[in-house]
């Protein structure tokens, strides 16, 4: 048997030790990767996107803004879903085809729904945060990040975890709890 010796060039976790929220996001991402991705199967797009997320979380300007790295985290989870064949279609309304005023996602079809088409069914729809409609846009509030996590969490559970009798990784649940607690502290 051979053995390998390696030295870490850059330890991302060490950069987050002073920030429990970013550390929770790192733990969540690693737990989602471990639970969702098939073992020994390369997923270059997911890896590359994870590197972008980690670099953004290390950036001193972005690190202070939960909404900035939180938005990237949600978009990364959408990428994981897409990589595994469960892409959300947020380009136009599933019912009418319009591209404006998209505010919900159908839990059945994973497609966007406009305000007009979805109003009668709004209690059954998942909220669609506006930052997911544009590549370069970030969430404006922690509430938007939480809406994004609710959306991706629903589809992660439905398509990746529940069919294999797995639960949502507890590290991800802790991230959601931490952000919800931050939101409560910000409320007047």
For the chain, the structural domain boundaries read 18-86+140-186
Q: Which helix (H) or strand (E) holds 105?
A: strand 102-105
Please name the residue that has the structure tokens 């509030």: 141
Is pTM beyond 0.85? Reply is yes
Tens digit of pLDDT for each residue in 138-149? Answer: 999 999 999 999
187/57 Cα distance (integer angstroms)? 24
Tens digit of pLDDT for each residue in 25-50? Answer: 999 999 999 999 988 899 999 999 99
Bridge partners (DSSP) listed for residue 175: none
Mean pLDDT of 107-119: 96
Strands 102-105, 126-127: pairing kind: antiparallel
């Amino acid at each position: 048997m051979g053995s390998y010796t390696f030295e870490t060039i850059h330890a991302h976790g060490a950069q987050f030790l002073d920030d429990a929220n970013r550390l929770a996001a790192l733990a969540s991402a690693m737990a989602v990767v471990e639970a969702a991705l098939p073992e020994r199967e390369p997923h270059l797009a997911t890896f590359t996107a994870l590197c972008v997320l980690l670099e953004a979380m290390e950036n001193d300007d972005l690190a202070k803004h939960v909404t900035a790295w939180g938005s990237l985290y949600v978009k990364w989870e959408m990428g994981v879903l897409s990589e595994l064949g469960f892409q959300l279609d947020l380009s136009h309304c599933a019912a009418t085809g319009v591209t404006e005023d998209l505010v919900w996602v159908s839990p059945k079809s994973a497609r966007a729904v406009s305000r007009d088409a979805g109003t009668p069914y709004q209690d059954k729809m998942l909220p669609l945060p506006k930052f997911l409609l544009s590549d370069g846009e970030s969430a404006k509030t922690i509430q938007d990040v939480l809406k994004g996590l609710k959306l991706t969490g629903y589809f992660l559970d439905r398509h990746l975890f529940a069919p294999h009798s797995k639960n949502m990784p507890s590290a991800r649940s802790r991230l959601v709890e931490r952000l919800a607690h931050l939101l409560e502290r910000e409320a007047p």
